Amino acid sequence: GATIVVSGDGRYFSKDAVQIITKMAAANGVRRVWVGQDSLLSTPAVSAIIRERIAADGSKATGAFILTASH
């Protein structure tokens, strides 16, 4: 029943990877997946969402998949 954030920096194959991750998350019981518009979010934005965003039902994200070539 967790909530996760999935997004990336727009590199090649990001949109396809987000779709695969979302399907795998749903198949493994993840309740909600938050995805950036057009699958785009910076690493600091994902961090802020995990720490600050609260859903209408009071839940928060418990983790994320960030698709980036950083580090």
What separation in angstroms does the CA of 53 have from each of 7, 20, 24, 58, 70? Answer: 15, 24, 23, 9, 24
pLDDT in tens, 14-54: 889 999 999 999 999 999 999 999 999 998 999 999 999 99
Catalytic residue among 7, 47, 59, 70: 70
The CA-based angle 13-31-36, given to 5 degrees, is 40
Task: Report yes or no on 71 lying in a domain.
Answer: no
Task: Report yes or no on 69 lying in a domain.
Answer: no
Kindly indicate the confidence band of residue 59, based on its pLDDT and cuts at 50, 70 and 90. Answer: confident
pLDDT of residue 5: 96
Task: Report yes or no on 19 lying in a domain.
Answer: yes
70 as an active site residue: the answer is yes
pTM of the model: 0.86
pLDDT of residue 71: 59
Task: Report yes or no on 70 lying in a domain.
Answer: no
Task: Report yes or no on 18 lying in a domain.
Answer: yes
Task: Report yes or no on 17 lying in a domain.
Answer: yes
Number of domains in the chain: 1
Expressed as residue numbers, the domain containing 24 is 1-32+42-57
Joined together, the tokens standing for residue 53 give 């965003």
